[in-house]
A and B are shown apart, each in its own frame.
Chain A
């Protein structure tokens, strides 16, 4: 993730895409962008492709910058030793094939989701689990996410592989973000923060343009904890109320110089130019799939009426 990208071009897009869906410009120098946004009667958003003009005047299709937050698994693993362009391209084709069969919606860490999986040992042959997404990772067909819930006072976490063909349905019941990228601290938090009713209904969002950030600060149980949360700069937890020695030790162990280490961040991320190329390759198909689904849903609602 390009969270601390120092590139001038992306910082602008980053700030805008965190709070607004329609990013106005990717860079201020030569390229000009026009975002065409049309909203339907249902208030659903449709962002068309951004067409940019480069120096020669030919139009080049560029995916909107929020694609790297909506579809982070399309970006390959940044480790250079194991990268191969052909293999990544073939993997992306397979991912799009799978996405044409099942809708894998946009979700973030902190969203409440329900996943239906085909299970031979279940009474109905299908098992549905509702939970909050505490972590997501992996790239390509290995992309995964973990859902957490507390069922009959027992905390349960399930890791789902997004492209596994056993998954029948992925629904996002509440689409929101939290203040942290990883909510593993919910394991040490009071159980009410991880409890969600298993028959939860999908919630309609008031504003479809913006993904809300839930500024909830979670209360942790008293120590011992699974990890040293005081060393991790968590934004989404309440004041830990630890003795001062913990914070002193955290300061000693901290690496504050890492935020200035350009090469470290460069090696951990895919360069912006390559990201643009990757998403330009897949975005037309992704948008076609989204359109088809919307038509199907509208036809479905019309039939009901």
Chain B
């Protein structure tokens, strides 16, 4: 099986001569960190044993309510969005969602389909950074080193009590007048798909039948042995094997280079890495509960947060215009269809399938 090693700087793909050959190369890039980057503002307040009286607590809550009640997010129809045209090269915003589980559904020919249920949280656009400005930032400079720069949309999800966050973190949301969000994400967008702050993003942002990429942190398996982590075969279970059942075996020859090469597959921490699942098809959208059903599985355990984008796979991109730049409820007040199903999927309320 061809194994491909991804580096942050460059892609390395080498043809293997036999099945069990490993790619051992310089890989000094750290795969995961437990701390955020140094330029992030401190988010959570380190609370000690605060002895606030109940009266004061009530007062604090009233202050928060007063602060945020007048500045309610602007509804979609009131925003003055320039009517931009969609073209196939447009990159739309993504959405922050929670993976709430897996549900089995059936297609019209009786075939079972495993669908992941993604709950689109209360997303609001916090800020739009135009391309020129974003290209000057640290990450932007790296991403657009040899490319034409694109804009960046900062989207937040899951509003929470400002009490639990630091002042610097809440200040990120002050311009917009929103309750501070627990989760923030950046989405690279073309300038024609820019959205003004306070725009809500819902499940209607997506279209039935479209392909999406889901980006999330994989399940944390902890420190794992070589059999589970790399798929090694280990040793025989019986026939006299002495203490060699799930071990790695040899880690190098004595001849070339005469040392263990970097990148040698060994036991270690497995999982808890940010990964993409590309090209997943949307089979059902529930507008009332803001829930998307996606065919297949996504990285991460149940109840973890993921980001959903329009796919970058060239053959599964949009041919027709999607809701651009995002979905807005119709101005005449008609409610959208609550539960939209893919044409291939069997609706549960419809009669049984006769093959």
B-binding residues in A (CB < 8 A)? 81-84, 86-87, 90-91, 94-95, 97-98, 100-102, 118-120, 125-126, 140-142, 161, 163-168
Contact = CB atoms under 8 A, between A and B. Distances in A.
A118 B108 CA distance: 12
A82 B355 contact: no
15 contacts: A81-B301, A82-B302, A82-B303, A84-B119, A84-B303, A87-B101, A90-B289, A94-B348, A97-B349, A101-B348, A101-B350, A140-B103, A161-B112, A165-B110, A168-B354
Given A86-B289, A87-B117, A165-B346, A101 B100 contact: no
Contact of A166 (B100, B117, B303, B355): B355
Contacts of B100: 84, 86-87
B106 A165 contact: yes
Nearest to B286: A90
B291 interface: yes
A94 B291 CA distance: 14
Contact of A120 (B101, B104, B112, B355): B355
A10 to B, nearest CB: 27
Contacts of A91: 103
Contacts of A141: 103-105
Interface residues on B, range: 20 to 34
Contacts of A84: 100-101, 119, 302-303
A165 B349 contact: no
Given A86-B119, A87-B101, A125 B112 contact: no
A102 B351 CA distance: 8
Contacts of A166: 106, 110, 352-353, 355
Contacts of B103: 87, 90-91, 94, 140-141
Interface string B321-355: 00000000000000000000000001111111111
A167 B355 CA distance: 11
Highest count of chain B CB atoms <10 Å: which of A83, A86, A90, A125: A90
B354 A118 contact: yes
Contacts of A140: 103
A76 to B, nearest CB: 9
A118 B352 contact: yes
A123 to B, nearest CB: 13
A94 B347 CA distance: 9
